[in-house]
Amino acid sequence: MRTRPLKVALLGCGVVGSEVARIMTTHADDLAARIGAPVELAGVAVRRPDRVREGIDPALVTTDATALVKRGDIDVVVEVIGGIEPARTLITTAFEHGASVVSANKALLAQDGAALHAAAGQHGKDLYYEAAVAGAIPLIRPLRESLAGDKVNRVLGIVNGTTNFILDKMDSTGAGYQEALDEATALGYAEADPTADVEGFDAAAKAAILAGIAFHTRVRLDDVYREGMTEVTAADFRSAKEMGCTIKLLAICERSADGASVTARVHPAMIPLTHPLASVRGAYNAVFVESDAAGQLMFYGPGAGGSPTASAVLGDLVAVCRNRLNGTTGPGESAYADLTVSPMGDVVTRYHISLDVADKPGVLAQVATVFAEHGVSIDTVRQQGKDGEASLVVVTHRASDASLSGTVEALRKLDTVRGVASIMRVEGE
Ligand SMILES: NC(=O)c1ccc[n+]([C@@H]2O[C@H](COP(=O)([O-])OP(=O)(O)OC[C@H]3O[C@@H](n4cnc5c(N)ncnc54)[C@H](OP(=O)(O)O)[C@@H]3O)[C@@H](O)[C@H]2O)c1
């Protein structure tokens, strides 16, 4: 074993970074044996240097992250600051000064992954980011390496623990969205400002990363259709139950039937209770992958939290250190397939539509005609009357999102349709 240590600069020492530092210290001997050289924490960049940080030598702490990555003797930079800047500049500076990079930064990778990969490639360095999607769950490496000989057709995932906790609460207790969110906040599962989670921004970033790797095609954050889950109601859950379904916020990356294009989207959807993703409870994450040769694979585990996320960071650190010792690098970006990334209108799926209508003869026929005119075939209809008003629940066969949007627009114009109470996609069948 080499005695000269590999030097690691830790950028950020918060929820994830503090656990990375702890595991590097407590597992130092095992890590050295697995890598073939000891790993030394050479510096820790933070914003507030005076904070007490258990287990961290205060002499290592600095507020000058730029100087740390420019030192020239750093082998690996671990970026766990988050956000776009200064993380982006620090990572590119690290490459320029000879270091490889491990990051957990989904926002940055989703926005600038291609440029960062190019910078890593230009300098012959590694860029690893297993922790950026679904925390501890091994997903990036299985997609990038274990499935490199297969053809992935679909990635369907619960990749945000906060939203899964809220939806699971609504499902199991009958609570409304706000009540479930309040509980998630009180228990520390939701941040004070939950927008990134409940509006699907966090999941959309992960969908862009997953789709890019799964389909060997650049998928930008802007390519991902996004709908949050704040409009999901207790009534939607009752409807879902009647269909033998539950509701999850899903990230869905799909290859089209002809294989020529892909789509990536995040939205709440009904899935059958028999689907493996339906049983993912609480704040857990799970990703269901369908490929030509392997068939169906399910990856499940804690998608966030300091220690689980640090596990993924440490796995990358070991891989990058091994590469470093061998004078090699791991796989970089693979975007050779360069498939067309299609808009949401091209997505084909089933829909559950709940309408408030006048309770009078002929309404059902009128509504059915609108569906037929837009080429959307109806699977089932359920009608319930109350005081001259009625609710109509229509479940369709597979249709394009564009056809469904056209249908809904036309339905809204009917005098007999008082309102469209909810539209939900039905997935996983
Ligand atoms: N938390 C999770 O469960 C989780 C899961 C998966 C991925 N991630 C990703 O991991 C990354 C870190 O998340 P986190 O939850 O650990 O965040 P965090 O607790 O807010 O920690 C951020 C750290 O960065 C430091 N920092 C902020 N601005 C800085 C700057 N300009 N220069 C140097 N240091 C700076 C902060 O310093 P101070 O300590 O002085 O404030 C803090 O130590 C993010 O990209 C996040 O998306 C997190």
For 68, 163, 180, 286, 367, the CA distances from 282, given in Å and listed in that order, are 39, 9, 12, 11, 38
Q: 10-residue block means of pLDDT along the chain (429 residues)? A: 94 98 98 98 97 95 98 97 98 98 98 98 98 96 97 98 98 97 95 96 98 98 97 95 96 96 98 97 97 98 96 98 97 97 97 94 95 98 82 96 98 96 94
| Percent of the chain scoring above 90 in pLDDT | 96
- pLDDT tens-digit readout, 261-285: 999 999 999 999 999 999 999 999 9
For the residues of 325-360, what is the DSSP string, one character each?
HHT--------TT--EE--GGG-EEEEEEEEEEE-S
Rounded distance, CA 210 to CA 214, Å?
Answer: 6
Rounded distance, CA 319 to CA 95, Å?
Answer: 17
Counting ligand 1 atoms within 8 A of each CB, the residue from 15, 22, 197, 314 with the most, and so the one to mutate, is: 15
- pLDDT tens-digit readout, 11-60: 999 999 999 999 999 999 999 999 999 999 999 999 999 999 999 999 99
Beta carbons within 10 angstroms of residue 51's beta carbon: 11
Domain with CATH 3.30.360.10 in the chain: 140-302
Angle between helices 363-373 and 401-412 (to 10 degrees): 140
Domain with CATH 3.30.70.260 in the chain: 347-426
- pLDDT tens-digit readout, 367-409: 999 999 999 999 999 988 777 789 999 999 999 999 999 999 9
In residues, how long is the chain? Answer: 429
Q: Backbone dihedral region of 383: left (phi > 0), alpha (psi from -120 to 50 degrees) or beta?
A: beta
Rounded distance, CA 420 to CA 276, Å?
Answer: 30
Provide CB contacts within 8 A for 58, sequence distance 6+. Answer: none
Q: Taking the domain 347-426, which CATH number applies?
A: 3.30.70.260
Counting ligand 1 atoms within 8 A of each CB, the residue from 20, 22, 46, 106 with the most, and so the one to mutate, is: 46
Q: Give the fold, CATH level 3, of 6-133+306-326.
A: Rossmann fold (3.40.50)
Provide CB contacts within 8 A for 252, sequence distance 6+. Answer: 154, 155, 156, 157, 207, 263, 264, 265, 266, 269, 427
Atom 25 of ligand 1, nearest CA residue: 12
pLDDT score at 400: 97
Quote the tokens at residue 56: 């961290």
Ligand 1 neighbour 343 (Cβ under 6 A) = no
Q: Taking the domain 140-302, which CATH number applies?
A: 3.30.360.10
pLDDT score at 304: 93
Residue whose pair of structure tokens reads 């619960």 in the numeric block:
158
Ligand 1 neighbour 86 (Cβ under 6 A) = yes
pLDDT score at 218: 97
